[in-house]
Amino acid sequence: MGFSSALQSRAAHEALIVRQDAELRLMETMKRSIQMKAKCDKEYAISLTAVAQQGLKIDRADEMQGSLISKSWRSYMDELDHQAKQFKFNAEQLEVVCDKFTHLSQDKRKARKAYQEEHAKIAARLNHLTDEVVRKKSEYQKHLEGYKALRTRFEENYIKAPSRSGRKLDDVRDKYQKACRKLHLTHNEYVLSITEAIEVEKDFRNVLLPGLLEHQQSVQESFILLWRNILQEAAQYGDLTADKYKEIQKRIDTVIGNINPTEEYGEFTEKYKTSPTTPLLFQFDETLIQDIPGKLQSSTLTVDNLTVDWLRNRLQELEGAVRDCQEKQLKMIEHVNGGSPVANGSIISNGSNTSNGIQSNKDSLCRQSKDLNALRCQEKQKQKLVDMIKCALNEVGCEELPSGCDDDLTLEQNFIENGYNNEQQISLSTNRPLYEEEWFHGVLPREEVVRLLNNDGDFLVRETIRNEESQIVLSVCWNGHKHFIVQTTGEGNFRFEGPPFASIQELIMHQYHSELPVTVKSGAILRRPVCRERWELSNDDVVLLERIGRGNFGDVYKAKLKSTKLDVAVKTCRMTLPDEQKRKFLQEGRILKQYDHPNIVKLIGICVQKQPIMIVMELVLGGSLLTYLRKNSNGLTTRQQMGMCRDAAAGMRYLESKNCIHRDLAARNCLVDLEHSVKISDFGMSREEEEYIVSDGMKQIPVKWTAPEALNFGKYTSLCDVWSYGILMWEIFSKGDTPYSGMTNSRARERIDTGYRMPTPKSTPEEMYRLMLQCWAADAESRPHFDEIYNVVDALILRLDNSH
């Protein structure tokens, strides 16, 4: 009988904690007793040594020359001395046993704490969702009462109003529509919270709690196994082999041998055995919608013009959560299959008993299985909500969504829209192409657009690809950010909800000058066009000449600017990449545009008017530093290599002063000009903050260049760049060799964690290798900052120059 099926109740959980406390007290008692025995054995060894020394003090020993009895006595005393040494050795080994008891006790306390925290964590989520269901129901009741009152008031005023218009009727209508929207949103939140609570409670009962208890049983049995091994070791060093001790030793061995980890908790489990927890019942309270005709259905999502945006946003959030769960599961499975699991919190014995290692592996696998089950439960819970929302949205199946309020409001809205269509059109005489308009931002990704629109009424126009079709989008900041697709009529004109126009420019200028909302529902009004930034260049001004490389997002070209005849380097982004990847591509440009330093590659601009998106940078004719080192390995001098190190340190010192973490510093990501000057490049992984915690996994991380704390904990600071700079120095002095040559990434990582550091490359100055080792300090705070690194390298170069 196991923990997972028998100990699910709260009382059993508390009893398990009490049992572990009792075991810790027993462990402490055993430790004190063995310490006292070790002390007694040491004192006896000292006394026995004194006896032997006294016995060897034979006066006039020469007179006993050849005496057998004297020889026997001396041998006897020598054996006594040997026996004293054996006693002392046994006492010292018992002290080692006491240390093992200490470590075992510490590990057991940690395991107890971990179990309590994990139990509290999974229970807290269920409790939180239970409270959430109650809270959502209470909100439902409140908004329902408000909705009923305002509906009655609207109907009274609507009947009384002679022309179905007037300020008072408009005010009542607006309040009623808001109450209607609040009610429908609360309805959906209540339905989703019930659905999520059902899934979480089921997983708590059937997966998470049994998994936690099964893992806890495995951990506790592991402690019992180690406990037994320690007791056996203590007994071994108390065995004196004399007949009168053999019987005692036999009895000790017998009682210790009777310890069986699998039977240790049998009586305890039987005593506190409880039935599995009773399922909690979550269901929709149908009394909430008894007085509402037709619109709201029990346990069914409502999709209309009041709720569709909220549902789409919620769907996006949930789909992101599902993907995150899937990526974490994949990473965990790859970790298990690809190498030995990291023993976080696992029990590792210092002894040589093979069974301990097997048990440790079993504990680790059990823990990983528990964590994987938890992720699968989360994915299943979120996917349930995703499917529910998708099903509701798919059932609508039309562009014109149903109104969220009663039929009278729908009719009135149509009346307003028809009146709006009769307004006079505003013409604008222009033959200029759309891409020449300052407020047209081309294919700038949506995330970049949101960054530019800061105040209500800010707007711009851009192009996007939907279902492999190009569409023009008006983006407006208005109570958040709203994006309107320009509709095309059968006659080739353009419109939103108002009159059609012959060109997009006329349509936009009409909306701007008339100050009418783009759509009645959104209320968004155009107040200030946001023009292209200075660094947004025209695609037509860039002439691509020849491909000179390939990056993560697309090809790299040598190019020429028509306007200035300047030779430049251009990074392109593949047209097929999703918007998220395009946003990451442009991130490098956004970071570089604010930097100006001779050892940082300069940004000239970005091109987003049309596909492909491009980043335009200065052309550094020497190309990649790595390629340069390998091609010129025979001609490089120590002075040139040290100068390259100083240039890189100068650039990184500048970045550190700007709180920029590069995260991918390596020779392949540096450029060198024709005068051997090095420039830092490739800022695709950079972050502008003092500390950056990776949240999207560790894929595509350059393991051999990355600091241990970043690999192990996903935590990046400028001191991680210092570690990478040490690898860069090694690359420079090895003239382009591959770091940790012959080692896989995982093998290099294991060696580094055990203290291994690469040997100095041939002909490297001793001071430069010493600086490399300082950059590779295991403790990040012990590494020098780039300001100190620059000063050290600069001083060494100055000393080298003076010596010549």
**Is 548 among the annotated ligand-binding positions?**
yes
For residue 612, is the peptide bond before it cis, meaning its omega torsion is within 30 degrees of 0? Answer: yes
Paired residues of 495 in beta bridges: 487
Structure tokens, 261? 């980890």
- The candidate with the shortest Cα–Cα distance to 619, out of 688, 534, 544, is 544
**Is 257 among the annotated ligand-binding positions?**
no
Distance CA 278, CA 657 (A): 59
- 3-state secondary structure string, 361-409? HHHHHHHHHHHHHHHHHHHHHHHHHHHHHHHHHHHHCCCCCCCCCCHHH
For residue 449, give the 3-state DSSP assignment: helix
Determine whether 496 is exposed, middle or buried from the number of CB atoms within 10 Å of its CB (0-12, 13-18, 19+). Answer: buried
Q: Is 656 within 8 Å of 721 (Cβ atoms)?
A: yes
Q: Which of 647, 664, 682, 721 is catalytic?
A: 664
664 is catalytic: yes
Annotate 264-297 with b (16+ C-beta within 10 A) or e (fewer). bbeebbeebeeeeeeebebebeeebbeeeeebbe
At residue 522, φ and ψ (nearest 5 deg) are -75, -35
Distance CA 655, CA 661 (A): 7
Within 10 angstroms of residue 335's Cβ, the number of other Cβ atoms is 13
Q: Which amino acid is at 530?
A: V
**Is 610 among the annotated ligand-binding positions?**
no
**Is 492 among the annotated ligand-binding positions?**
no
Distance CA 654, CA 787 (A): 9
Distance CA 262, CA 242 (A): 34
**Is 357 among the annotated ligand-binding positions?**
no
Structure tokens, 510? 């009409």
Paired residues of 607 in beta bridges: 537, 614
Angle between helical axes of 718-733 and 766-775 (0-180°, round to 10): 150
**Is 553 among the annotated ligand-binding positions?**
yes
Structure tokens, 512? 């701007």
**Is 160 among the annotated ligand-binding positions?**
no
Distance CA 419, CA 281 (A): 52
Q: Is 563 within 8 Å of 485 (Cβ atoms)?
A: no
Distance CA 503, CA 695 (A): 44
**Is 550 among the annotated ligand-binding positions?**
yes
**Is 554 among the annotated ligand-binding positions?**
yes
Annotated binding site: 548-556, 571
Annotated binding site for ATP: 548-556, 571
Which residues are known catalytic residues?
Answer: 664
